[in-house]
Structure 1
Amino acid sequence: MKRAFEVEDPDFSVSPLTGMTRRHYIEMAKYLLERAFTHIGSINDPLTFPEVPGKTYPQPDDPDWRWRSLEFEALERTFTLAGPLIHVDPEVEIKGIKLRDYYSLQLYRALTPGHANSLPLPEDLPDSTYQFTCEFGGLFKTLLLMPDTIWTNYSEQQKEEMVATISKWAHHRTTQNNWRIFNIVTLSFLKKYGYEIDDELLKSHLLWVASYHSGNGWYLEQTYNYYSISLFIVYTTIWNRTFGDEYYPEIAEIIERSATKLMESITGFFGREGYINMWSRSICYRTWVSGAFPVAFMLKDKPLIDAGFARRLCSGSLLQFVTREDFYHNEIPSLGFYGRKEYMVQNYSCPASPFIMFLPFICLALPEDSPFWTARENEGFWEELGTDTKTVVLENPGLVLANHGKSGASEIIPGKVYYDDPNYSKLMYNTHFPWEDHDPSGGTSMEYSFRSWDPRDVRGEDINFYLTGLAVNNSAERNRSFFISQGMVFNGVKAGVIYRQAIMRKPPNNGVGYIIDLADIIISGGVIRVDRTRLAFEHELTLGHFGLPHINGERAVVNQYEEGNRKIITAAIKGRQVALVTYTGWDEVDSLVHSNRNAEAEESTVVFARKKRLDKNPAMELMITVMLHKTDDSEWTKEELFPIKEIEMMDVTPVFSTLGTKITLADGKIYEVYFEEIDGNRRW
């Protein structure tokens, strides 16, 4: 078997950029399932995958139901590929096993008592929430859209036997907001096919979900993340067309409006070649957000996305991964982004979890004459962008998107972050420079890393101890490490400047003395940072650039020099480069080699700026830094490295804020960074 997927006999007439047509989607799905099916020998074998050491489940001493969960997740999530294949061709086989017969048999056994891999019932377990609920949602989302795959294959008696288990889990306790969608989908499937449900419970879940719509097509999850697209838009749009329009038209209209609104900006999340941005939790799900592209052609109104652009991005996002040998581990998608990386995954994942990344294969439910299939591929707005940069501001979720024509990369600039988690807390995320994990020794990629030199912290005392007599958990040993921001606040966009705040410490060990006020000016190929420190006590700070992986062990080439008051450091690997230029507020620039932090390689290089302030009462400071990236091997020019022509510093600005600046760029553009009433403009 080929070690990675290849587009054979590409059709460049209809798909000049990827060669991918409907036929190739079918071939890709078969290829992925052929690798997965190496773990079974016959139709009677339940589909399961080797457990992966580390934090993911199941653990060796887990109870039996965790192993049933592993099997059910493998069965359901691979059905994300198998269901669309069966829909296209009911006779399709993988390794001599007819898919329709295999999934019909294995799901029947899982959903009826008395079999080795039967699911437990809720009453057999402590009253809590379980992964089974999530997988029921995934299964019945597919069956609502494509019931002909296996549901119509069962006898009425078999259906009745399975419905007992399905109904108990559909009515069981759920958790948080996105999980309600799983209960909604399962309850709706039962009702659609004539089985009794608790209608008030279904309505309650629906109203709860609709209440989380925040605007710009986004919904509040734990924070704002890809779940807002993949579950709140993709799952619920399928629900709309197959159930909601008929039974709950008013709620369906809320979903329809939000999905339509999302389509105005969804393309901005992807790089020119369709690359996915490594952002938010559940990174191993990768391309599941690309499911929004076929959904665009399931909406009632005319799609807001050009069909050729939609397919180009959808295809490109899949090819980003399935064509790489390091993507596969144990013949299936790895628990990571490219290769397997422990730091990228959560303990709720198992080896089968990544198969949800193939949610975009719902495109095979679209008719063959859908514009999604027939339109000629194109690059959408990228074709006219040239070397310019396009930005989109999504005020409600506090996100800014930047599409850099010069590099073909897209960036997510997050603003509403509630905790210190590299999945969310980076200053920005770039499609071509996947994020790195935090390094407690400093120089963390795309973060402000903070270390206190306050003697009270060094001694391990609460900074307020001598006022209150109360101590908090303030370990001297722990304080020797660098910390990343504990949260991010979005303060809006004014005159082309993005305002945010990085909260470096939260109460009780924080008044308002641990704030970095952030101001981003997006330029072609990068950003000018004009950030104001309000760090009240002795401290050390680093600001890291994107990490550069050491592909095949080859280190990045680092160059460092000074020109006037500017300190410049660049780093390059084949096909990718970064540059960091400091103007004011920093002591030095430097680089570090990090181990086991990067998405692509065991080692990586990060260039960063550093400062140390040991005054008892440090002054506020402006830190002006230019951070650039490239996706080629060309030499940096002076025009690229030095986009700033003039900096006018102000203690008091014309709007009566303190410590601001007026920056004039080489192209004549002027930006005023005033931090006016920034604390009062917080938007969490």
Structure 2
Amino acid sequence: MTYSLGLPPEDRVLSPHTGWTRAHWEAAADGMVRAAWRWATPRGALLDLPGRPSASGVRSDGLEGYARTFLAAAFRTAGSGGEGPHGLLARYADGLAAGTRTPGRDDAESWPVIQDHATAGQPMVESASVALGLRLTRPWLWDRLDDGVRDRAEEWLRGALRHTPSPNNWYLFPLTVAGFLESVGRGDGETAHAIERGLGLLDGWYRGEGWYADGDGRAFDHYNGWALHLYPLLHARLAGDEALLARYGPRLRAHLESFGLLFDGNGAPLYLGRSLTYRFAAGAAVALGALTGHTPLAPGVSRRLLSGTLRHFLDRGALSEEDGLLTLGWYGPHEASLQSYSGPASPYWASKGFAALLVPADDPLWTAREEAAPSEGPDRALAVAAPGLLVQTTGGDGGLVRVHNHGSDHVRPAEGESAEDELPLYARFAYATRTGPTARANVPDNHLALALAARPGAWSVRRRIRPLGAASAPDGSWGWAASWHLPAFPAGTPGVPGVRVMSVTFVRGADELRVHRVTGAPPGTRVRQTGWATAEDVAGTLVPLHGWDEDRSTALRAPQGTAFARWAEVPALFGEAAGTGVFAALASLSGTGRGAALPDTEAGADSLTATWDGGLRVRIAFVPELTVTVATVA
């Protein structure tokens, strides 16, 4: 039997793009929470969902099931004045009482204690969802608990204040716990310190234009919306702290100026970064903007993005047919979208998308007529220099979104290189809403790699990315971004000091001009440029312009496919570098099959000029320093 969420009929008058209303959101939240509760332990402290366990273990995974579904139930209940999934709030109260009992040999439902992130840190993550859920539902849950249960819950939660988080967004989990404890009259110096510390670190991670780095490195991804903006602004709003709202609200507004473009016309968010199995949590920042008023998006646009992304996943198999559980993957199950910390209940951080239900039913978010998504307008380029991202949208392809990455990686300064299994999620030159990236064991898409003569099959990877700038035309008709990196070669490859790659991406309309300058390459070094992973519903081209062996690309197979397709091909160009060389290609990605418009090009060892019909000309000079000059010529 196929599981049904019991969604109401569509309303194509109020919501011409998605057909969805607030009633659909309520039904989706209720149905997803009820489905997960079918796997609860007898006293409700753990939701032991079926599936592969995470590295943290089964007990921690069960806590994750409780905490993350509680967050969805809390948004639903608080936004409806105490109404919510029938009878489930009482079950969460029972689960809290059982979970906070002192662990013992015969107590199979007690929650694991909170420890340092390096020891067994996952319970610290879940403490934030428990605390936020309790804060949102206080009149209907916390205030009705026995004092003994409240005392035990406080003691368990305080473990988050007394242990060391991971050096990134994790510091906002103790902040969230501390905010709840202060809201129920249990604050002290320990809670004040956790809040002050978290906000201080957050300010240090702010890079401008509404974007935070996730820690001290250059990881810019969806954690901006579903963590780095969400927790402090929700804390400020729930506390009624106008000073904090005035401090962090404008940053959210600035973030949504660019982030609002990152949703495809079909509802898909950008596939970039880790934890992508959280899916429609990508809408949390949009919901938060509507809730707080700190948004540049009209209410009908905000609902279009929110309903579009929620419906996108539910229409494409994110819920298992037989039991209605969120699967470990993107649409259906997809191993390459996961991390070692992903367990059966991990996808329920998608609950953060239900923050939209905190917005009252009579708010314009729910009553205004839906409008088109920003990506569905004219073709547009937008450079976001702070994270080093270049956004490219093509309304002619139904709102297809591409982002060219010249600034986001996952290398922590204190830890050296990034984790190998996360390279596909951060190191590629471009990401999109309809394809890629390929799995680590397959040929990488959107990549420039070198192979030395001594090891011809050992291709380099791109790890630490150093931005060199980004800019776009005021009317969005063109944009560019640039960076450089030191190729990282596989173990056993002879040392090659001095090899360096400078890269520039220039976009106009649907075209992507990709230019690389390789310096310090030993004789016999091979160069490989790849394009977009293509499958049945997306078409891509990669055309050589300068420096390559052949006049056309070669199709390489990616049998592990992508999150969007089971099997894919990747176009590739090959060339040879010795000393210094410039390599240029024109790429495109389309849902309609349109190809790129080829420019006339002139190139030397240190520069490249490209001129399109109509007179647009770009000149890229690499020495004495990078300059990109754009002009219209007769």
**Same fold judged by TM-score > 0.5?**
yes
| Equivalent in the alignment of 1:476 | none
| Equivalent in the alignment of 1:403 | 393
- Distance change >3 Å, CA 127–CA 525, structure 1 → 2: closer
| Equivalent in the alignment of 1:522 | 507
The TM-score, its normalising length taken from structure 1, stands at: 0.80
**TM-superposition CA deviations, 1:412-467 (whole Å, max 9, x none):** 22222244611111111010113112346xx42111233221x3xx4xxxxxxxxx
In the TM superposition, residue 679 of structure 1 has moved relative to its aligned partner by 7.2
| The 10-residue stretch of structure 1 (8-17 or 336-345) with the greater mean CA deviation from structure 2 | 336-345
| Equivalent in the alignment of 2:55 | 57
| Equivalent in the alignment of 1:553 | none
Correspondences of 1:492-503 after superposition (within 5 Å): 492-493=469-470, 496-503=479-486
| Equivalent in the alignment of 1:274 | 267
| Equivalent in the alignment of 1:431 | 433
Correspondences of 1:137-216 after superposition (within 5 Å): 137-197=128-188, 198=190, 199-216=192-209
- Out of 346, 353, 365, which is 2:358 matched to? 365
The answer to whether the Cα contact below 8 Å between 1:4 and 1:324 also exists between their aligned partners in 2 is no
**Counterpart amino acid of 2:588?**
L
Q: Distance in 1 between matches of 2:452 and 2:3?
A: 49
Report SS of the residue matched to 1:158: helix
| Equivalent in the alignment of 1:485 | 462
- Distance change >3 Å, CA 678–CA 143, structure 1 → 2: farther
Q: Distance in 2 between matches of 1:45 and 1:183?
A: 21
| Equivalent in the alignment of 2:475 | none
Q: Distance in 2 between matches of 1:345 and 1:677?
A: 43
- Out of 591, 598, 621, which is 1:631 matched to? 591
**TM-superposition CA deviations, 1:448-490 (whole Å, max 9, x none):** 233221x3xx4xxxxxxxxxxxxxxxxxxxx743232233221
**Counterpart amino acid of 1:527?**
E
The answer to whether the Cα contact below 8 Å between 1:294 and 1:372 also exists between their aligned partners in 2 is no
**Counterpart amino acid of 1:116?**
A
Q: Distance in 2 between matches of 1:122 and 1:141?
A: 16
| Equivalent in the alignment of 1:322 | 314
- Unpaired runs of 5+ in structure 2? 412-417, 473-478, 629-634
**TM-superposition CA deviations, 1:527-561 (whole Å, max 9, x none):** 11122222511222222222134xxxxxxxxxxxx
Correspondences of 1:578-589 after superposition (within 5 Å): 578-588=540-550, 589=553
- Distance change >3 Å, CA 242–CA 89, structure 1 → 2: closer
Q: Distance in 1 between matches of 2:4 and 2:466?
A: 42
| Equivalent in the alignment of 1:554 | none
Q: Distance in 1 between matches of 2:285 and 2:229?
A: 7
Q: Distance in 2 between matches of 1:50 and 1:367?
A: 35
Report SS of the residue matched to 1:112: coil
- Distance change >3 Å, CA 122–CA 138, structure 1 → 2: closer
- Out of 329, 338, 355, which is 1:336 matched to? 329
| Equivalent in the alignment of 1:32 | 32
Report SS of the residue matched to 1:314: helix
Q: Distance in 2 between matches of 1:68 and 1:110?
A: 11
Q: Distance in 2 between matches of 1:286 and 1:167?
A: 30
Report SS of the residue matched to 1:598: coil
In the TM superposition, residue 8 of structure 1 has moved relative to its aligned partner by 4.1
Q: What is the number of equivalent residue pairs in this alignment?
A: 594
The answer to whether the Cα contact below 8 Å between 1:516 and 1:535 also exists between their aligned partners in 2 is no
Q: Does 1:392 align with 2:385?
A: no
- Out of 513, 529, 534, which is 2:519 matched to? 534
The answer to whether the Cα contact below 8 Å between 2:548 and 2:575 also exists between their aligned partners in 1 is yes
Asked which structure has the greater CA Rg, the reply is 1
**Counterpart amino acid of 2:439?**
D
Q: Does 1:83 align with 2:49?
A: no
Correspondences of 1:443-482 after superposition (within 5 Å): 443-453=443-453, 455=454, 458=455, 480-482=457-459
Report SS of the residue matched to 2:241: helix
The answer to whether the Cα contact below 8 Å between 1:335 and 1:351 also exists between their aligned partners in 2 is yes
| Equivalent in the alignment of 1:648 | 602
Report SS of the residue matched to 1:297: helix
In the TM superposition, residue 577 of structure 1 has moved relative to its aligned partner by 1.2
The TM-score, its normalising length taken from structure 2, stands at: 0.86
The alignment yields a C-alpha RMSD, in angstroms, of 2.8
| Equivalent in the alignment of 1:663 | 610
The answer to whether the Cα contact below 8 Å between 1:277 and 1:434 also exists between their aligned partners in 2 is no
Q: Distance in 2 between matches of 1:432 and 1:600?
A: 7
**TM-superposition CA deviations, 1:655-676 (whole Å, max 9, x none):** xxxx212211012111111124
**TM-superposition CA deviations, 1:124-183 (whole Å, max 9, x none):** x99845111111112223333443452233233431232222223333322213111100
**Counterpart amino acid of 2:591?**
T
| Equivalent in the alignment of 1:654 | none
- Distance change >3 Å, CA 430–CA 245, structure 1 → 2: same
- Distance change >3 Å, CA 493–CA 320, structure 1 → 2: same
- Distance change >3 Å, CA 149–CA 484, structure 1 → 2: farther
| Equivalent in the alignment of 1:113 | 102
In the TM superposition, residue 286 of structure 1 has moved relative to its aligned partner by 2.0
**TM-superposition CA deviations, 1:493-551 (whole Å, max 9, x none):** 357432222431389944332x22212111222311122222511222222222134xx
Q: Distance in 1 between matches of 2:376 and 2:403?
A: 20
| Equivalent in the alignment of 2:562 | 598
**Counterpart amino acid of 2:110?**
S
**TM-superposition CA deviations, 1:355-392 (whole Å, max 9, x none):** 1112111111111111111111011544641xxx2122
In the TM superposition, residue 299 of structure 1 has moved relative to its aligned partner by 2.4
The answer to whether the Cα contact below 8 Å between 2:269 and 2:433 also exists between their aligned partners in 1 is yes
**Counterpart amino acid of 1:230?**
W
Q: Distance in 2 between matches of 1:149 and 1:504?
A: 56
- Out of 366, 377, 385, which is 2:370 matched to? 377
**TM-superposition CA deviations, 1:320-360 (whole Å, max 9, x none):** 21112365387422222223222321112211111111211
| Equivalent in the alignment of 1:472 | none
| Equivalent in the alignment of 2:476 | none
In the TM superposition, residue 581 of structure 1 has moved relative to its aligned partner by 1.3
Report SS of the residue matched to 1:39: coil
- Unpaired runs of 5+ in structure 1? 59-65, 459-478, 550-572, 652-658
Identity across the alignment (%): 21
**Counterpart amino acid of 2:317?**
E
In the TM superposition, residue 204 of structure 1 has moved relative to its aligned partner by 2.6
The answer to whether the Cα contact below 8 Å between 1:129 and 1:173 also exists between their aligned partners in 2 is no
The answer to whether the Cα contact below 8 Å between 2:402 and 2:433 also exists between their aligned partners in 1 is yes
**Counterpart amino acid of 1:482?**
W
In the TM superposition, residue 610 of structure 1 has moved relative to its aligned partner by 1.8
**Counterpart amino acid of 1:411?**
R
In the TM superposition, residue 307 of structure 1 has moved relative to its aligned partner by 0.8
